[in-house]
Structures are given as C-alpha cells and as structure tokens.
Amino acid sequence: MITKPQILVFKHSADTLYSQLDFTSASILYFKTLFALHDFLLLEKIGESPKDHSERFRKLEKYFPDLFQELDMEFSTYRDTYSKIIDKETCSRIKKMVENDLKRYNIT
C-alpha cells in the first residue's frame, strides 16, 4: 500500500537528481511519483490500487478523468525514458505536472 510519505520520498529523490542535472533519471522518478500518487488516490477513492499501467489507465479514466488525460498525453514521454536521454525542458514539464498534482491533492 502506497503512503503519502512514500510519494514524497520519490519526489525528493527526483528533485535531487534534477538538481544534479540528471534529467533522464529525474524524469523516471517524477513518473514514479505520479504513478504512486495515482495509486494512492485510487486506493482512497475505490479501495484498491492498480496492478499495472493498463489497469491504472482504466481506473483513472473512470474515477479521475483529468488525471487520465494528463497521463495519456505524457505516457509516450515515460516510455522514452527507457531508451532516450531526456532533456531539461521535458523533465521540467513533467516536474511541474507532478508538483501541480501533489498540490491539487494536498500531498505534503
């Protein structure tokens, strides 16, 4: 079960890598933060968290359509982290998205 402190640990680690200019690794951890946030919200709302990305998409689409759209638009960026170097601009975009979602759902 994912907790708020775990989400914040992932975010802190991403921020550390960002400050060290490792934008690819930071992006991976920002996405991990985002997925953890999604799972936390789903667990709170429906009492269960997804087993994989496909299930996460389905549940987000049903229960959090705004988060679904956001993730849908950026999922190709997440896949790029496996095979490409991520630039600062892309990483900053993901970072801002994560920070906005954490603020919106009061994860502090």
Residue the block writes with tokens 């950026």: 74
Per-residue pLDDT averaged across 5-24, rounded? 98
pLDDT for residue 40 is more than 90: yes
22: its two tokens? 């490792």
- Give the pLDDT score at 38: 97
pLDDT number for residue 20? 98
State pLDDT tens for residues 48-77.
Answer: 989 999 999 999 999 999 999 999 999 999
% of residues, the chain, pLDDT over 90: 95
Q: How far is CA 39 from CA 9, 19, 57, 83, 103, in A?
A: 15, 26, 11, 25, 16
Answer yes or no: are the C-beta atoms of 68 and 38 closer than 8 Å. Answer: no
pLDDT given for residue 90 in this prediction: 98
